[in-house]
Every structure is written in C-alpha cells, then in structure tokens.
C-alpha cells in the first residue's frame, strides 16, 4: 500500500481515537475532521498529497449512500402516511426559497454567471442529513415531539429535500456540460427518475422480505446493494438517492428486527465514513482561496437562511403544529454539511470557472451553520417539543 494512503488511514484512526474527547468539548466532530483535512491536505502540510484526493468523488458518493440508507431505515411508512400536505411542502419549498435568495445575491453582488450562481445555490440550499438524521433519531429515543410525529416529519422532509436539491443540481451540471439537449427535456426526465428510484429501491427491499434466511445475509450485502443502486443511476433513468432511501425504508417496514441490527451496523460504518467525508472536504480546500470568504459571504448565507425560514413558515401555514414546534422545525432546517461536502468539489472537477469560489463558499456554509445548528437542535428540543406520548 502506498505511503500516502497509509498516512490517510492513520489520520482516520487517530480521529476515531479522539472522537469522544472532541465531542465533550461541544465542538461538532465534523468541524475537527475538516480542520485535520485542511492541515494535512495538499494545500496544507501536504501529508496526504494529491493522490489521495483522486478517489474523493467516489468516496463522497459512498458516504452519501451510507447516510441515505440510515435515513431510510429511520423512517416508518405509517409516519409518512400521516404527513400532511404542509409537511410535503417542507421537502422542497424552503430549499427553493433559499436557492432563489442565494442566486439573486450572487447575480447582484458578484461576477458569477447565472449557471454558476444556480450551482452554488443548489449546493448550499440542501439540509444536512449528517446533522439532522442523528439528531432526530435521538429525539425519537427520548420521545420528544413524537406525539405529532415531528422527528419523522423532519426526517422525511430533509431526505426528500436532499433528493430534490441534488436532482436540480445534477440538471444544472448537465446543462453546463452540454449533456442535456434542452432544459425542458431534462425537467421532463425528473419525474421518471424519481418514480424509477422509488420502484427499484422498494422492489429490492421486497425481494429481501421473501428470503427465508435473511439473518444469514451479511449486513455488508445490504450495504453493497445500496452502492449498487448508485451505479445503476449511470445506466438506468432512476434517482439512486431516492432508491437507496426507499430500499432502507422497505427493509425497516418488512424486516423490523433485522432493521435494528442494520442500523447499528450503519452507525458503526458511518463513524468512519463521516471522518473520511469531511477530511476529504477539508483536504480539497485551497487555503489560497480563503481570501474569497468576505463579509458578503456571511451575508449571502444568512440571507439564504432567512428566505429558508420564510419557506418553512409558508409550508406550515394551517398545520396542526404550535408556534414552538414550528420554531424548532425552522432550527432543524438550518444545518449545512454532508450534501455540501459531497457536492462542493464537483463544479471545480468539471472545470467551472468559479469552481474554487463555489468550494470555498460551500465549505464556509458548513463551518458557519453546522456547529450552531447541532447545538441549538439539541438544546432547544427540551423547551420547544412535548415529551407526551401519542
């Protein structure tokens, strides 16, 4: 094994070792991993060198697959059926409002083109499953907000939000690279990919339901099946992200007991996957591009979040939730992390002129929102949510 890969693995092991200590400091571990990546990456001390980053896009996709599978196994069909129309609106309205605000800001305040502004907007406007999913699972364990299915509503909306944002980002990227003959044709392709993802993921879970010796199937097989769904997207008109969530949801519905074991397995895998994802993000940040982060960048992100809050408010008009619960959902809609980490470097790899700027701004959105969101979600839940049972 190459020395540079050994150094990277050693860094991951060290991060695992100090993980509990970092958590006790109240600093979100993902920020620590990013800093380690910046320090040891090719733009820092160059311990990893550029070769490690050659596989970064593949590793980011694999990390996303783990996150989405965790999201699916944390959802319940009964809770999704109980979601009202306003809950469905949460899955795309806030993201659209935030993306609009960011796009408008970039066009007015910078030299970004429309396509570059849209790329940045739909990278930043996604909610982070790395922050939201563990927080909502923790709320369910504490029975907070479960009387109105609030954790499941947020989980479902956040997962669909990510699918929506990543789908639109992919469309924009295809238009930029000339892979789509027209915007209209690409947009018409979206419903097909969404339905295809749901059908393929659900069908795969349904097949597992009828295997008698499910317990003899290694949990690794399920994880590899999720990775396979990623590959299928390049050959079939499906949304691999939605397929993975549907796959996890189906397993949780058809095989409840085995699903619990799978969740524990995924949590263990994610402990490593989270480190790899955010360390790679940090390593890909060019320190020389930090001068691109100015006061206007802070305004850009806050302005986008304000519009996101407006979108959340409109989505919840006429809902059965009280004011405190609506405020909590607003807070839960603020973190940026995983999707930004997975998508931030893609424009640069495609040769987009403002690629470094997009990477820097997306990374800044993580540093700004992830620690604050993680803190306020945890500390506000006791005050804003009821612990009454259904």
pLDDT in tens, 56-95: 767 777 877 887 788 788 777 766 666 666 678 898 999 9
**Helix H segments across the chain?**
3-24, 29-40, 49-53, 56-74, 77-82, 85-89, 93-109, 114-124, 129-142, 150-177, 183-209, 219-232, 240-254, 256-284, 295-315, 323-332, 338-343, 346-349, 355-384
Domains in the chain and their CATH numbers? 27-48+57-384 (1.20.1530.20)
Residue 390: the pLDDT is: 43
Q: What is the mean pLDDT of residues 32-51?
A: 76
pLDDT at residue 11 greater than cutoff 90: no
The pTM (predicted TM-score) of the whole model is 0.75
Which tokens hold the place of 108?
A: 């007015």
Share of the chain above pLDDT 70, in %: 83
How many other CB atoms are there within 10 angstroms of residue 12's CB atom? Answer: 17
pLDDT score of 200 more than 70: yes
Q: What is the per-residue pLDDT for 4?
A: 58
Count Cβ neighbours within 10 Å for each residue of 115-145 and write b for 16 or more, e otherwise. ebbbbbbbbbbbbbbbbbbbbbbebbeeebb
Say if residue 133's pLDDT is above 80: no
Closest CA to 239 of 314, 335, 163: 163
Provide DSSP, 308-330: HHHHHHHHTTT-S--HHHHHHHH
Q: What is the pLDDT of residue 216?
A: 57
Contact 72, 248 (CB under 8 A): yes
pLDDT of 1 over the 50 cut? no
Provide the pLDDT for residue 303.
94
23 or 301: which leads in pLDDT = 301
Q: Calculate the CA 184 to chain-centre distance.
A: 27
Q: Mean per-residue pLDDT for 191-202? A: 82
Distance CA 136, CA 198 (A): 23
Interatomic CA distance for residues 175 and 181, integer angstroms: 8
Structure tokens at 378: 């945890």
pLDDT band at 173 (very low <50, low <70, confident <90, very high): confident
Furthest-apart CA atoms within the chain: distance in Å: 61
pLDDT digits (tens, 9 = 90+) for 306-357: 999 999 999 998 888 899 999 999 999 999 887 887 788 889 888 888 888 8
Stretch 141-149: mean pLDDT: 83
Q: How far is CA 378 from CA 96, 298, 383, 385, in A?
A: 26, 24, 10, 11
User: What pLDDT is recorded for position 122?
Assistant: 95
Q: What is d(CA 248, CA 271) in angstroms, rounded to the nearest whole number? A: 19
């Amino acid at each position: 094994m190459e020395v540079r890969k050994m150094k990277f693995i050693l860094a991951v092991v060290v991060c695992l070792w100090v993980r509990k200590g970092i958590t006790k400091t109240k600093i979100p571990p993902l920020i620590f991993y990013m800093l380690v990546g910046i320090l040891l990456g090719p733009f820092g001390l160059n311990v990893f060198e550029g070769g490690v980053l050659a596989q970064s896009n593949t590793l980011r996709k694999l990390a996303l697959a783990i996150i989405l599978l965790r999201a699916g196994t944390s959802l319940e069909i009964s809770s999704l059926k109980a979601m009202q129309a306003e809950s469905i609106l949460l899955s795309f309205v806030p993201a659209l409002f935030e993306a609009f605000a960011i796009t408008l800001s970039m066009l007015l305040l910078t030299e970004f083109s429309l396509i570059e502004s849209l790329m940045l907007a739909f990278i930043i406007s996604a909610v982070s499953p790395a922050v939201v999913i563990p927080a909502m699972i923790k709320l369910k364990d504490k029975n907070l907000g479960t009387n109105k299915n609030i954790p499941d509503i947020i989980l479902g909306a956040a997962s669909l939000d990510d699918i929506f944002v990543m789908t639109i980002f992919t469309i924009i990227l295809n238009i930029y690279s000339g892979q789509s003959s027209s915007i209209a044709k690409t947009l018409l392709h979206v419903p097909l990919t969404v339905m295809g993802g749901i059908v393929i993921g659900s069908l795969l879970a349904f097949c597992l339901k009828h295997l008698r010796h499910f317990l003899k199937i290694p949990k690794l097989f399920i994880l590899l099946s999720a990775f396979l769904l990623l590959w299928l997207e390049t050959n079939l008109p499906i949304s691999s992200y939605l397929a993975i969530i549907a796959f996890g949801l189906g397993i949780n519905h058809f095989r409840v007991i085995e699903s619990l074991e799978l969740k524990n397995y995924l949590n263990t895998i994610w402990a490593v996957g989270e480190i790899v994802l955010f360390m790679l993000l940090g390593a890909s940040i060019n320190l020389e591009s930090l001068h691109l982060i100015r006061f206007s960048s802070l305004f850009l992100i806050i302005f986008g979040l304000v519009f996101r809050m407006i979108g959340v408010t409109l989505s919840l008009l006429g809902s059965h939730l009280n004011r405190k619960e609506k405020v909590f959902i607003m807070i839960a809609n603020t973190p940026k992390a995983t999707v930004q980490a997975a998508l931030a470097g893609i424009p640069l790899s495609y040769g987009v002129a403002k690629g470094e700027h997009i990477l820097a701004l997306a990374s800044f959105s993580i540093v700004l929102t992830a620690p604050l969101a993680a803190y306020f979600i945890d500390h506000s839940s006791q005050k804003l949510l009821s612990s009454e049972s259904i």
